Amino acid sequence: MLRIRAFETAAIRAADEKLVLGAIHPSVGQEAVAAGVCAPLRRDDLLLSTHRGHGHTLAKGADAAAMMRELFGRDGGNCGGKGGSMHIADFSVGMLGANGVVGANINIAAGAAHGVKLRGGDQVVVCIFGDGAMNRGPFLEGLNWAASFKLPVLFVCEDNGWAATTSTRAVTGGPGPAARAEALGIATAAVDGNDVLAVEEAAQALVESLRSGGGPRLLHARTYRLLGHTSVDKAAYRPAGQAEARWADDPIRRATDLLLGAGVAQNVLDADAAAATAEMTAAFEDAKAAPWPPVSAAYDDVQDIGAVAAPAGL
Amino acid sequence: MARLSYREAGRLAIAEAMRADPTVWCLGEDLGRGGVFGQYAGLEAEFGPDRICSTPISESAIMGAAVGAAMAGTRPIVEMRFADFALCAVDELVNQAAKARYMFGGQSKVPLTVREPMGMWRSSAAQHSQSLEAWYTHIPGLVVIAPATPEDNYALLKAAIRNDDPVVFMEHKNLWDMEGDVADDATAEIGKARIACAGGDCTIVSWSAQVHVAMQAAAELADDGIDAEVIDLRSLWPWDEAAVAASVAKTGRLIVTHEAVGVGGFGGEVVATIAERHFASLRRPPLRLAAPRIPISYAPELENQVRVTARQIVAAVRRLN
Ligand SMILES: Cc1ncc(C[n+]2csc(CCOP(=O)(O)OP(=O)(O)O)c2C)c(N)n1
């Protein structure tokens, strides 16, 4: 969680300094969902994420320096600088991609689980999406698909209450994602998404049931987006005081209190926080100094047959 | 006459249309907060949340509901946020909106305006940068508009809202802040091009933000004594074949430039039409300057690979002249 927070802090600074040019969607306040959900996963388990995916990606084990380079659009980024924040993927750790299209990852996750099932093995697929995504068609189609084929996929609704500038409750019928999933025969669990131990415990149980062939599950994790939708959004549309009040529920603060209560010394925790900050500051400096991708890369990886050649001299 | 940004011009067109006709309404995500680019700012306060309808993230429902609402006697303005996300609603647009009038033997029209902000806009990468206007020109039943100036955004958006058939209205994201004079009650006819600058030496056809690149090229060429005529098509279907043909009759040279991928792009249609029907006017082979067939990258220099620059246009014109 500390590493995610430090990564987001560095990324926001980079966006402010115009070192990161595209939009970034910070996950500050939502770190416990990423950390807790990914804790029980193996490296070969698969993860599909969203536009707000830095935390999920780090928690799945992606290299922070490569991620930072990707945000900066530099050589050595996870996607060679061609994707940026909203399209980070690291297939080497089973992270099959953030996504710029809300809800698009749900059907892809169902399909990834379908592939896992066809090939045999006990990998699981985790699909994290926001509360706003449950109102897109793929939510129905992908969940029904996973249920009817009994696929090993854990759907995680990371419910931060907001979809860009709209309160999700204002545009959503019924009691929420769990009730919708249950209507399709998918067992669900709900958890306080700012309680990292509770998230981990719930995810652990659900992942175990997936590994033993129990079919899809859905975890509803309630959390809060402490900052704006993007790094430049001041979120002035939220009721006055809402975000301020929710800082009291900051998952890192809660975990810190828990550890202090369990007898961990403050200086140990301080050292962890300092190490996280140092790691991400180094990633920031590394990305800033990194070379741009070779321009010819714009022409690479389009397709095998029929790709156009880069102009001579590139 | 007022000095307005492209964004404000669009907003004014909607406000005036909504004041004049109570059946006009808008639906899309985050509209109550002014829309993702501020292009609906203040409209909810004037017209209320029923007519400035903030929807769930449900593109197929937004488009599909608008089709139904259009059949039921209203004139919806659909906001798709990014042209890229309209792909989540293509069935509703292409199989439903564009077909209903014809399939049902003319019993119903579908007066729908679909706003699809398009184009490259600061490192937005492959899923937030596309220019897909050519696809829609391929679909019988649709009108396709891509304005380049504040005044055209105002006048053509009003014309689109008045139009009784579905209109795909593609504003360019990089133009939102562009300012220009907008005449009070400016009008524009869908299907009529605008001569952005007159000249007798070479015809350069373009639309949307690329018109401004063509204009830069024309300014550079003028310094060399070459007078290029820049034609802003403004609407791609219907498009103003007569204006292009008249220009080529004068210049004998045709270059079409657009931001979208060249392969299968609308430039091909323009060039083919002039070659088929006005071949005798051409003194040089016609030319297309458009993006290579590669997705749009995030890293700035890679993103630049898909841009057609004024320099490239200048070089091409020099080769023809
Ligand atoms: C299909 C589609 N529609 C709209 C958008 C624009 N958009 C990007 S993020 C977002 C809000 C998503 O809300 P939610 O799913 O709750 O995720 P959160 O941003 O809260 O993490 C919207 C509407 C998009 N990217 N894709």
The pLDDT tens digits for B273-297 are: 999 999 999 999 999 999 999 999 9
The pLDDT of A204-217, averaged and rounded, is: 96
- What is this model's ipTM? 0.90
**Is residue A19 domain-resident?**
yes
- Spell out which chain B residues touch chain A, with contact meaning CB-CB distance below 8 angstroms: 29-30, 32-33, 36, 54-61, 84-85, 88, 122-128, 292-295, 297-303, 305-306
**Is residue A304 domain-resident?**
no
Which residues of chain B neighbour A165 with C-beta distances below 8 Å? 30, 32-33
What chain B holds in terms of domains, given with CATH numbers, is 2-182 (3.40.50.970), 194-320 (3.40.50.920)
Among residues B43, B80, B29, which one has the least CA distance to residue A166?
B29
Whether B306 contacts B296, CB under 8 Å? yes
Q: φ and ψ at B302, to 5 degrees?
A: -75, -40
Residue of B29, B88, B123 lying closest to A73 (CB–CB): B123
**Is residue A300 domain-resident?**
no
Q: What is the pLDDT of residue B274?
A: 98
Query: Residue A32 corresponds to which tokens in the numbers above?
Result: 């416990």
Q: pLDDT tens digits, residue range B123-142?
A: 999 999 999 999 999 999 99
Q: Take atom 5 of ligand 1 and give the residue whose Cα is closest.
A: A102
The pLDDT of A115-121, averaged and rounded, is: 93
The pLDDT of A83-102, averaged and rounded, is: 97
The enclosing domain of A16 has a CATH number of 3.40.50.970
Q: Give the separation between CA A27 and CA A228, rounded to whole angstroms.
A: 10
Whether A141 contacts A107, CB under 8 Å? yes
Task: Give the range of the structural domain holding residue A61, as residue numbers without chain letter.
Answer: 2-288
The pLDDT of B42-54, averaged and rounded, is: 98
Q: Which residues of B are known to be catalytic?
A: 128
**Is residue A116 domain-resident?**
yes
Looking at residue A290, the DSSP 8-state letter turns out to be S
Residues in a beta bridge with B257: B289
pLDDT at position A31 over 90: yes
Q: φ and ψ at A166, to 5 degrees?
A: -110, 135
Q: What is the pLDDT of residue B23?
A: 97
Looking at residue A78, the DSSP 8-state letter turns out to be T
Q: What is the pLDDT of residue B253?
A: 98
**Is residue A312 domain-resident?**
no
Q: What is the pLDDT of residue B19?
A: 98
* 3-state secondary structure string across chain B: CEEEEHHHHHHHHHHHHHHHCCCEEEEECCHHHCCCCCCCCCHHHHHHHHHEEECCCCHHHHHHHHHHHHHCCCEEEEECCCHHHHHHHHHHHHHHHHHHHHHCCCCCCCCCEEECCECCCCCCCCCCCCCCHHHHHCCCCCEEECCCCHHHHHHHHHHHHHCCCCEEECCEHHHCCCEEEECCCCCCCCCCCEEEECCCCEEEEECCCHHHHHHHHHHHHHHCCCCEEEEECCEEECCCHHHHHHHHHHHCCEEEEEEEECCCCHHHHHHHHHHHHCHHHCCCCCEEEEECCCCCCCCHHHHHHHCCCHHHHHHHHHHHC
What are the Cα distances from residue B91, in Å, to A114, B57, B60, B95, B98?
26, 17, 8, 5, 10
pTM listed for this prediction: 0.94
Whether B313 contacts B217, CB under 8 Å? yes
Ligand 1 atom showing the smallest separation from residue A163 Cα: 13
Q: pLDDT tens digits, residue range B62-114?
A: 999 999 999 999 999 999 999 999 999 999 999 999 999 999 999 999 999 99
Q: What is the pLDDT of residue B275?
A: 98
Q: What is the pLDDT of residue B62?
A: 97
Cβ–Cβ contact A281 with B under 8 A: no
Alpha-carbon Rg for chain B in angstroms: 19
Q: Give the separation between CA A309 and CA A295, rounded to whole angstroms.
A: 13
Computed over every residue of chain A, the mean pLDDT equals: 97
Residues in a beta bridge with B296: none
Query: Residue B31 corresponds to which tokens in the numbers above?
Result: 């509209």
Tell me what percent of the residues of chain A surpass a pLDDT of 70.
100
Residues in a beta bridge with A48: A127
Strands B228-232 and B194-197: antiparallel
Phi-psi region of B247 (alpha: psi -120 to 50; beta: other; left: phi over 0): alpha
Q: φ and ψ at B276, to 5 degrees?
A: -70, -45
Cβ–Cβ contact A81 with B under 8 A: yes
Q: What is the pLDDT of residue B311?
A: 98
Peptide bond into B238 cis (omega under 30): yes
Residue of A21, A81, A133 lying closest to B57 (CB–CB): A133
Q: pLDDT tens digits, residue range B210-223?
A: 999 999 999 999 99
Instruction: Answer whether A164 sits within 8 Å of B29, measured CB to CB.
Output: yes
Phi-psi region of B125 (alpha: psi -120 to 50; beta: other; left: phi over 0): left
Instruction: Answer whether B294 sits within 8 Å of A308, measured CB to CB.
Output: yes
Which residues of chain A neighbour B298 with C-beta distances below 8 Å? 21-22, 73, 79, 81-84, 87
Total structural domains within chain A: 1
Q: How many other C-beta atoms are found inside a 10 Å radius of the C-beta of residue B284?
A: 14
pLDDT at position A108 over 90: yes
Q: How many other C-beta atoms are found inside a 10 Å radius of the C-beta of residue A312?
A: 5
pLDDT at position A271 over 90: yes
Residues across chain A: 314
Computed over every residue of chain B, the mean pLDDT equals: 97
Alpha-carbon Rg for chain A in angstroms: 20
Q: What is the pLDDT of residue A314?
A: 86
Distance B274 CA to ligand 1 centre (A): 43
Question: Which amino acid, one-letter code, is at A186?
Answer: I
Q: How confident is the model at residue A216 (pLDDT cuts 50, 70, 90)?
A: very high
Instruction: Answer whether A81 sits within 8 Å of B54, measured CB to CB.
Output: no
Tell me what percent of the residues of chain B surpass a pLDDT of 70.
100
**Is residue A298 domain-resident?**
no
